[in-house]
Structure 1
Amino acid sequence: MTHDHDLELRPTARQTEAALNPPPGRTGGDLVVETLQGLGATTVFGLPGQHALGMFDALRRSSLSYIGLRVENNAGFAADAYGRITGEVAPLLLSTGPGALMSLAALQEAAAASAPVLAIGSQVPSAGLGGGRHGYLHELRDQQASFRGIVKSVHTARTASQIPSAIADAWRSALTAPHGPVWVEIPQDVLLAETLLPVVTALDATPDDVLPRPELTALAAHLLAGAERPAIIAGGGVVRADASGKLLALAERLNAPVVTTFGGKGAFPWEHPLSLQSWLEDRHTTDFLEDADVLLVVGSGLGELSSNYHTFAPRGRVIQIEADAGKLESNHAGIGIHADARLALSALLETVPERSDESAPERVGTLLAQVRERIEAQDRTLEQRVLAAVREALPDASPSFWDMTILAYWAWSAFDARRPNTMHSAQGAGGLGYGFPAALGAAAADPSRPVLAVSGDGGAMYSIAELATARQYSLPVTWLIVDDGGYGILREYMTDTFGEATGTELARPDFVALAESFGVPAVRTAPETLADDLAKALAEPGPSVVVLPALLRMFAPTHL
C-alpha cells in the first residue's frame, strides 16, 4: 500500500538533479545559511569571530540580510525585538567563548519575554570539545552549560550532516509556545570543511500546538459565566500569541474588567470602558482584583511586578492560562490551563455565554479616579508632562522600546500603547541597555515606520556604540535619552533606604556632540519643546537622537 506521505517524500526530477550535482566550494557554513533560508529566515543579526567565520563567509553566497552590531549583547537585544515584532524566529550568529558569553544577558531577556531568538554559536575544533585542555583561543570546558539554564533547548551539530536537523529542531523549539531563545553550537572545523551534501531546500519545522484540555476550558467557562464580579489579568502571553482580538471579544461577552501587565501593554484598548489600564503598583487595583470572585489570568505568571510585589492575595477562584507549564499555579493556586493563549481564549469563546453587568464600567471608572487622585497628590507634574509629550509625538503604529529608566517605569503604568505589540521593555529580566539596540532590531523588521527608543544616560552608555550600526544601515530609530547625570532609579532607591546614594553619579559625554560625531543628527530639548522636537526627529528618515536633561522622580507605589 502506498501512503500519501510516501508520495510526498519522493523527490521530483528537478530535486534529484540538484541533489546529485551540488555547486562546488560549499562548506558547513553554507549548510547553516541554506537551512535558515529553507526555514523562511530573511534577516540575521550577529557579530563575527574567529571560529564563526565559516558562517559569515557563507552569508555572502545567500539571500539573507545581515545586521551586524558592535556588541554581542546588543545583537541579542536586536534579535529579541525582531522576534517580538514579527512573531518569527530571529537568527543570531555568534562566535565562541567571550562572544557567546556576551549574549547571555540578552538571551535571559528573550527567555523572560518569550522572544523567539535562534542563537547559533561556533565552537573550538571538534578535537577540543569537552576537554578544556587543548588551549584553543576562546575555549570553554563546557560552553553549553552557560546557556542551558537560560534558553529553552540546546542543540549541537558535530558533523555537517547534523546541521540542518539541529537548526530545524531548534527553530521548532523557539516557535513552540511559549516562544523563547534556543542555542545551537557547531565546531569551527565543521563550519569550514567543504561538503558534497546537497543544497538544503525547504524544511518543515512547524511548531507544536499547545492545546487546552477541553474539560478544563469547560470548567473555566462555567465559572466565568456564573461569576458576579469576574476580572481578567492580561499578560505578555496575549501579545506573543496575537490574541488581543480574542481577549477583547471575551471581556465584552463577560462584561469583565481587564488589567494589562507591564509585559502585556497594548493587549487591551486603554480607553475601553472595561479597561483597568496597567496600574499594578497601586493598592486600589490590587484590592479590585482581590475582590473578583473569578479571576482569569491569561499569559502571565503573576510574578513580582504583576502581583504588586507579591502582596496580591486573590480571594476568589483563579483560572490561569499559561503556555509555560512551569508558571502554572507557581504563585497562586487555581485552575491551571496549560495552553497557548490564543487557542485557550478561542475555546472559551466557543462556550461562554453573554453575561450582563451594567455596574462593571462604573466600577472601573471609580477605580481609575482613585488612582488619578493618588498620583495627583504626589506632585509629579513634570513626569506626566514628559510622558504625555512622548505619546503625542509617537505615531500610533510606531513601536517603542524602553530601557530600565524612570520614564519607562512611569510608562509601564501610565502609557497608552494604543496598539498591540507596539510597546516593549526589558522588564522581564531587567537588564540595562535594552532600548536602543532593540529598537534597531524592530526597525530592521519593518523600516517603513519610525521606531522610538527611550533610555536614561546610564543605560545609554551600554549601547552607545550602536549609533554606528544605526548610521551604517540607516535605520529609522529616534533615541530619546533622558539625562539626569546618573542611575536615577538607583539614586532614589538608595536615598530612600540609606539616606544617601553611593555609586550612582556618572560622568557622561555630550550626547548631542557624540551622536553628531557618528553622523547621526541630534538635538537637546526641554520638557516644553519635547513633543515638537521628538515628532520632528521621528518624521526624518534614518537615525536621530533627542537629549532631554531632566531629573525625573518615580511616583510612590502602594503595596499595603
Structure 2
Amino acid sequence: MTATSTTGSTVQRNGGDLVVETLAALGAKTVFGIPGQHALGLFDALSRSPLHFISSRVENNSAFAADGYSRATGEVGVLFLSTGPGALTALAGLQEAYATGVPMIVVASQIPLEGLGARRKGMLHQLDDQKASAANVSKSQRLIQHASGIPSAIQDAWTEAVSSPQGPVWVEVPQNVLLDPIFVPAVEDALAEPFDNPPRVELIREAVKWLSAAERPAIVAGGGVRRGHAEAQLLSIAQKLNAPVVCTPGGNGAFPWNHELSLQSWVEDRHVTEVLEDADVLVVIGSSLGEVSSNYFTMEPRGRIIQIDAEPRVLESNRPALGIRADSGQALSALDEALLEPHGEQANWHGATPQVTVKETLAKVVARLDGQDLSLERKFMADIRDAVPADMQTFWDMTISAYWGWSCWDSMAGEFHSAQGAGGLGYGFPAAIGGSLGLESQGKPARVLAVAGDGSSMYSISELATAKQHNAAVTWLIVDDGGYGILREYMIDTFGKATHTELARPDFVKLAEAFGVPAQRVAPENVGEALKAGFAADGPNVVVVDVLLKMFGPTHLNL
C-alpha cells in the first residue's frame, strides 16, 4: 500500500507508519523523543502523521517530558527511543514514571532482526538484551518481530499502561521491521480500555466492620487517590467516618487543604505522625507507607491498618494490614457505598473531637516551625504560593524548595507534581515543558511553573532549547544555593561537615539569554513579583534566586 506525503510524492508504507497510525487511533496527540539511526523509520512516518513531535536534547529529559505531559493532561505519554545509548539514557526518567504510576507507551527501536541475540556481534548500539535493561522501570516489555503484529501489540501495551496500577510499557521494534515495505492496511481504529480492578466484596465488608467500630479512624491519602480520580469519594468517606486525613506528597490535592479534617501534607512532622500512630484504624489508600509517608519509617501505628492499593507488591510491604488489592477509585467507591451514616458519631480522640485534634495538631506544627529559625524559608514558600494562580500546575525537582512543598504546598485548584517516586534529579523543567505543551494541545491555559535547584537544573539545562523551539509557556524558578543543598544539609547533620557538595555553576541568566529565553536574577524577597511577571509573559522564561534555604527539622524528632 502507498501513502501520499506532504510534498505530494507517493511513498511505500512501512512498519513505522503502522506504529504512528495505531498511536493516533488510540488517541495519542504528542510524541517525545530524539531521532536515532535505528529509529529513522518511526520519524519518517511522523511526517505522514497528525502526531506532534517534541524533540528534547537528552533522552532522559524526553522521558520526564512525556511523564509531565501525562500527569498534566490525564492522557498517555508517548516516548520514541533509539537503540542502545538512547534507550539506556532514558531509564532514570522511566524509573520515576514507573514508581509514580504514570501511564506511558515507550517505543524503542532495535537493531535488525538478523543481528538479535548472538547471531551477529559488533552492530552499532547493540545490547545483549535491551528489553532486560527496561525490566526494572516498566510494567512489561515486548519485542515485535513482524509488521503485521504492530497494531495489536501497541493496542495491548496501551491497555496495560492505563490499567491500574498504571505505568510505562516498553515496546521494541527492530530497524528492518520499521523500514521494510508492508501490505498491511492502514490502521483505522483501535480500542484500549483499562482492565477492571475492583476490590473483593468480602474485604470491603470486613473493612466496613472495622471502621464501624472505630473510635479514632484516620486516613493517609496517597497518589493512588489522584490517579483513581477518587477525591469526591475520599471526602465523603472522611466525613462519614469523621476521620482526619493527611495527604502524602503524591496525594497532594486529593483532600481539601483547609477542610476541618485536613492534616494537610505534613507527613514528615512528628505531631502529625503521632495522630496516625494513635488511630485505632488507619486507612492507607494508594500509598506504600514508604520512607516519606511513614516519616522515614519512624511511624509505629498502634491500631489496625486497612491498606488499599492496585499494586500487589505494595500491600503489607512495610506494615501488616488488611490488604485490599484494587484500583483506589473503584475501592473508595465501593467503600463509600457500603459505609452508611452515622459511622463517625463515636469518633473520639481522648475526649476531643477529630476537628479539635486536627486544629490542635496543625497549631503544634506551626509552633514547632516557630521554634526553628525558618522565617526566610516560610516567607519564600508563601511568596511563591501567593504568586502562583490557584489553577496553575506546578512541577518540582528534587530540591529543598520541593521538600518544603511536599509538606506545605496547598495545590488549590491546580496540581502538584514532583519527583518523589524515584527521587531522580532533573525532573522539574522537562516535565513542565511536557505538561505545558500538553495543556496547550487541550486548549487549556498552558502556563506552568517549574522549580529546581542549581544542581538539578544542570541536569536539564539543555532543554532551554526545547522550550524555546516550541515556545513552551514554562516559568522556571532556579533556586541557586551553590551546590547540592539537600545533600549538603544531610552531610552536615550526619558528619558535621559537607564533602563535595559545592558546585561551580554558570551564570544562569546569561545562559538562558544565550538560548533566547528571557531571564532575571532577583533577591528572595522579590521572588513573588518576578514570578508574576514571568507568568504574564509569552513563552519560556527563567527566574533565578540566590538564596540558601534550610529544611525544617530534624523532622523525625519531637522538638
TM-score range, shorter chain: over 0.9
| Residue deviations 1:67-102 (CA, integer Å, cap 9, x gap) | 111100000001111112222211100100000000
**Cα distance in 2, alignment partners of residues 490 and 505 from structure 1:** 10
Q: Bigger shift: 198-207 or 322-331?
A: 198-207
Task: Verify: 1:442 aligned to 2:439, yes or no.
Answer: no
Which residue of the partner structure matches residue 457 of structure 1? 454
Which residue of the partner structure matches residue 377 of structure 1? 371
Which residue of the partner structure matches residue 368 of structure 1? 362
Task: Verify: 1:341 aligned to 2:328, yes or no.
Answer: yes
Matched-pair contact (CA < 8 Å) for 2:114–2:120: no
Which residue of the partner structure matches residue 412 of structure 2? 418
| Residue deviations 1:166-225 (CA, integer Å, cap 9, x gap) | 111111111110110110000001101111110012112211011101111111122212
**Cα distance in 1, alignment partners of residues 244 and 286 from structure 2:** 16
Matched-pair contact (CA < 8 Å) for 1:268–1:275: yes
Which residue of the partner structure matches residue 390 of structure 1? 384
**Cα distance in 2, alignment partners of residues 498 and 24 from structure 1:** 65
Which residue of the partner structure matches residue 421 of structure 2? 428
| Residue deviations 1:3-52 (CA, integer Å, cap 9, x gap) | xxxxxxxxxxxxxxxxxxxx851110000000101111111111110000
Deviation of residue 495 (structure 1)? Answer: 1.7
- Residues 31-70 of structure 1 mapped to structure 2, 5 A cutoff: 31-70=18-57
Which residue of the partner structure matches residue 513 of structure 1? 510
Which residue of the partner structure matches residue 275 of structure 1? 262
**Cα distance in 2, alignment partners of residues 180 and 85 from structure 1:** 15
**Cα distance in 2, alignment partners of residues 114 and 423 from structure 1:** 15
- Structure 2 counterpart SS, 1:182: strand
| Residue deviations 1:97-156 (CA, integer Å, cap 9, x gap) | 000000000000001110011110000011011127421110001101101122101111
- Structure 2 counterpart SS, 1:337: strand
- Structure 2 counterpart SS, 1:444: helix
Task: Verify: 1:403 aligned to 2:397, yes or no.
Answer: yes
Matched-pair contact (CA < 8 Å) for 2:437–2:446: no
**Cα distance in 1, alignment partners of residues 239 and 189 from structure 2:** 42
Q: Bigger shift: 46-55 or 125-134?
A: 125-134
**Cα distance in 1, alignment partners of residues 243 and 544 from structure 2:** 42
**Cα distance in 2, alignment partners of residues 284 and 104 from structure 1:** 38
**Cα distance in 2, alignment partners of residues 498 and 227 from structure 1:** 44
Q: Bigger shift: 495-504 or 179-188?
A: 495-504
Matched-pair contact (CA < 8 Å) for 1:46–1:92: yes
Aligned residues: 537
- Equivalent of 2:107 in 91, 103, 120: 120
**Cα distance in 2, alignment partners of residues 272 and 406 from structure 1:** 27
- Structure 1 counterpart SS, 2:499: coil
Matched-pair contact (CA < 8 Å) for 2:95–2:136: no
Which residue of the partner structure matches residue 541 of structure 1? 538
**Cα distance in 1, alignment partners of residues 491 and 319 from structure 2:** 31
Which residue of the partner structure matches residue 10 of structure 1? none
Which residue of the partner structure matches residue 97 of structure 1? 84
Q: Name the % identity.
A: 59
| Residue deviations 1:330-360 (CA, integer Å, cap 9, x gap) | 1111111111111111111111122235811
Which residue of the partner structure matches residue 353 of structure 1? 340
The one-letter amino acid paired with 2:406 is: W
Matched-pair contact (CA < 8 Å) for 1:88–1:175: no
Deviation of residue 557 (structure 1)? Answer: 3.1
Which residue of the partner structure matches residue 88 of structure 1? 75
Deviation of residue 313 (structure 1)? Answer: 1.4
Task: Verify: 1:191 aligned to 2:185, yes or no.
Answer: no
- Residues 201-240 of structure 1 mapped to structure 2, 5 A cutoff: 201-240=188-227
TM-score by length of 2: 0.94
The one-letter amino acid paired with 2:354 is: A
Alpha carbon RMSD of aligned pairs, Å?
A: 1.2
Which residue of the partner structure matches residue 481 of structure 2? 484
- Residues 17-28 of structure 1 mapped to structure 2, 5 A cutoff: 25-28=12-15
Which residue of the partner structure matches residue 497 of structure 1? 494
Gaps spanning 5+ residues in structure 2: where? 1-9
TM-score by length of 1: 0.94
**Cα distance in 1, alignment partners of residues 364 and 90 from structure 2:** 43
Residues 523 and 132 of structure 1: CA distance in aligned 2, closer, same or farther (over 3 Å): farther
Which residue of the partner structure matches residue 4 of structure 1? none
Deviation of residue 252 (structure 1)? Answer: 1.3
Deviation of residue 237 (structure 1)? Answer: 0.4
Gaps spanning 5+ residues in structure 1: where? 1-22
Deviation of residue 61 (structure 1)? Answer: 0.2
Q: Bigger shift: 194-203 or 496-505?
A: 496-505
Matched-pair contact (CA < 8 Å) for 2:464–2:515: yes
**Cα distance in 2, alignment partners of residues 521 and 123 from structure 1:** 40
**Cα distance in 2, alignment partners of residues 545 and 243 from structure 1:** 35
**Cα distance in 1, alignment partners of residues 34 and 40 from structure 2:** 10
- Equivalent of 1:249 in 236, 242, 245: 236
Task: Verify: 1:522 aligned to 2:519, yes or no.
Answer: yes
- Structure 2 counterpart SS, 1:276: coil
